């Protein structure tokens, strides 16, 4: 978070310099004055997920699937699946038709949901937030199944006033970049059609 540090004004020249610097700072930092929104969004999503996780009516064995699906819905509401798909496809994205773009987003979404929603709100702690104009990062620490903390960085971007996640970096590994490598490998050996076929088959196994 940004903060100001004020000192004692000793004389007029120093006061004048301080005023000038403050005005310059306000001009430069104006686009960033809404600092806190991405972190607030992540925290509210985490809180809603935790409520579902602890909901007494969703604790039985036969309610586990429903609880997971409801948490997934909450998390998915702040994820930009189209942007993640676009980044994962890289140069392939502008080469395909709008219809093909919609199709690949639809096919890729279940895989992304499985990753972005795979969190235990009881074992997740949010940390520092960094904002630069319409892009932000929110750091977190998540305890894995072995009890070790794993650093996870959520990357967000603001479009039409709304912040959404467009990438997730788990232990220094970008989800988007990881899929990009896999997608490039498939399209290099075969074609975009083969990629959509594999995504479709992957989805059918769920």
DSSP 99-113: HHHHHHHHHHHHHHH
Pairwise pLDDT comparison (18 vs 178), residue with the higher score = 178
Q: Give me the pLDDT at residue 97, please.
A: 96
* Residues 162 and 70 sit within 8 Å (Cβ to Cβ): no
Fold of 35-204: Nuclear Transport Factor 2; Chain: A, (3.10.450)
pTM of structure: 0.79
pLDDT band at 7 (very low <50, low <70, confident <90, very high): very low
Q: What angle do CA 17, 18, 20 make, to 5 degrees?
A: 65
Q: What confidence tens digit (pLDDT) does each residue in 150-166 have?
A: 999 999 999 999 999 99
Residue 17 has pLDDT above 70, yes or no: no
165: burial class by Cβ within 10 Å (0-12, 13-18, 19+)? Answer: buried
Return the domain boundaries, the chain: 35-204
Percent of the chain with pLDDT over 90: 72
pLDDT band at 206 (very low <50, low <70, confident <90, very high): low
Percent of the chain with pLDDT over 70: 83
Residue 30 has pLDDT above 70, yes or no: no
Pairwise pLDDT comparison (89 vs 19), residue with the higher score = 89
Residue 125 has pLDDT above 80, yes or no: yes
pLDDT band at 117 (very low <50, low <70, confident <90, very high): confident
């Amino acid at each position: 978070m940004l903060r100001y540090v004020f000192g004692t004004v000793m004389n007029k020249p120093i006061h004048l310099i301080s005023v000038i610097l403050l005005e310059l700072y306000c001009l430069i930092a104006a686009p960033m004055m809404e600092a806190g929104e991405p972190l607030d969004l992540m925290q509210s999503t985490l809180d809603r997920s935790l409520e579902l996780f602890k909901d007494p009516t969703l604790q039985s064995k036969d309610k586990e699937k429903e609880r997971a699906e409801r948490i997934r819905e909450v998390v998915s509401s702040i994820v930009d699946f189209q942007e993640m798909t676009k980044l994962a496809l890289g140069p392939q994205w502008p080469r395909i038709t709008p219809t093909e773009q919609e199709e690949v987003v639809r096919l890729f979404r279940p895989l992304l949901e499985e990753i972005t929603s795979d969190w235990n709100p009881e074992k997740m702690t949010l940390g520092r937030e960094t904002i630069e104009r319409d892009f932000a990062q929110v750091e977190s620490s998540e305890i894995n199944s072995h009890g070790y903390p794993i650093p996870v960085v959520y990357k967000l971007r603001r479009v039409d006033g709304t912040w959404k996640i467009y990438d997730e970096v788990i232990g220094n590994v970008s989800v988007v970049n990881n899929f990009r490598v896999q997608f490039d490998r498939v399209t290099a050996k075969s074609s975009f059609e083969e990629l959509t076929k594999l995504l479709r088959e992957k989805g059918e196994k769920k």
